[in-house]
Structure 1
């Protein structure tokens, strides 16, 4: 399977190896997403029909509200397109279908997909779907050396498999500490927009803090905790003067770890 692997050197000169997602996993993810969208579209249609049939004169209602039908059709188009755009940007390159298949979209430099890349990639689904049934996109994914469709080529993105590691019995010291404190990602609610304001330097800062957390003397740890909270909390919409800063920073580490830390 070496032909399905790719080495990427990030702008930070870190070499990452990914397994490229092929036609099978991408098709399966797309089918799952289409089933979700189909259920939503059918639900909207049923609601509209229920409202329509409740009118005294159904045909007159449709004639008088033809503009409403047009708006619903246009709205469904944008919802069906926006589904992929929004999920890929706000969920780290994963739609529900991609998440279930263990794949995600990233940029060619190894970083998370950007707003512009997600927009371009999904806008060009129109071309990839030509002449019908995503025929052109399927051909591109099958024959391209990196399994890219036209949207990926233009947006500079690539679809890869998630890295899965089996480290249940090999927790790092900080992971053991987090587990001992009973902390989880669900302990802190952070807006997705706020998470997008975090950059590589911010991740390195919280990563270094977490790695040195147990080695620092208590007073030094308190000072560092306050300084890092003052830097990161405003970006995440949190108050740096709240109590329990240590636990909050460790939870932030858990939240960012999934997005920024690559397990080779």
Structure 2
């Protein structure tokens, strides 16, 4: 199948290639998400009715299940639209359905989706779902050159396929050799999605510069730079720098570099 490619140029004049997600993959992810949402809706609805029936014996306020139905309607509305907003922002642009299919939402500039972008694209699902069955959204995705629905157009987002790990062995860069020699990997440091959101582009650029110069710096200058950067970045992941050796701080910063590289450098 011929997938459309999209190229994004960063402010550093680096070209990033993305494989756009078409109607088929987006529909598959949406169906999975809807099944999960409807399962929750059914279980929640039955649970509320059961509880309200028991409470009705203690208070007339719950008689007729009117209150229960009102609660169900409000919660179901919040879940149906909050589900997409919550997962796309706090899980790197991926709902559970998107994770299964292997697609994610990012901004037009190649960066991770922002809180505002996630809110806009998902609140506009109300319009994309018109008149029924997401008809408007399907039509726009099918005919738009970048497979965008109205929510994507207004929010400035695109849906792309996830990177697939390359099995063939590639030549290691200097910093990758350093980390291999030290036995470092991403698994050496666990960082949750919420914490990852606290890092901004300027943090990534600072750490990227540090990693690129790491092997060329004299020991004294490297130790000084390590401590300065560690004091700026490591508190964000709950790591105290006081009492740590320069080698410990270097190892933590290098592993953090791996995490941020996956977040800020897309190579599809």
C-alpha displacement of 1:215: 4.2
Output one character per residue of 1:95-123: Cα deviation in whole Å (capped at 9) or x when no partner: 12112222111111222211111101000
Alpha-carbon spacing, 1:48–1:246, altered in 2? closer, same or farther (3 Å) = same
Change (3 A) 1:223 1:100: same
2:103 is matched with 103
Equivalent position to 2:264, from 253, 260, 264: 260
> How many residues end up aligned between the 2 structures?
264
TM-score when normalising by structure 1: 0.86
Matched residue SS, 1:38? helix
Q: SS where residue 18 of structure 1 aligns? A: strand
For 1:162 and 1:148, the matched residues in 2 are separated by 17
Q: Which moved more, 1:72-81 or 1:121-130?
A: 72-81
Mind listing any 5+ residue stretches in structure 2 that lack a counterpart?
Answer: none
State how far apart, in whole Å, the 2-side matches of 1:121 and 1:142 are.
Answer: 17
> Would the alpha carbon gap of residues 202 and 55 (structure 1) be closer, same or farther in structure 2, given more than 3 Å must change?
closer
Calculate the aligned-residue CA RMSD, in Å: 2.8
Partner of 1:86: 86
Query: Which residue number corresponds to residue 174 of structure 1?
Result: 175
> Taking structure 1 as reference, are residues 175 and 167 closer, same or farther at Cα in structure 2, changes over 3 Å only?
farther
Aligned residue in 2 for 1:160:
160
Instruction: State how far apart, in whole Å, the 1-side matches of 2:52 and 2:183 are.
Output: 53
Q: In the aligned structure 2, how far is the partner of 1:242 from the partner of 1:147?
A: 52
In the alignment, which residue of structure 2 is the partner of 1:115?
115
SS across alignment from 1:71: helix
- Structure 2 counterparts to residues 1-264 of structure 1, below 5 A: 4-54=4-54, 57=57, 62-63=62-63, 66-167=66-167, 169-170=169-170, 171-190=172-191, 192-241=193-242, 243=244, 244-263=248-267
SS at match of 1:106: strand
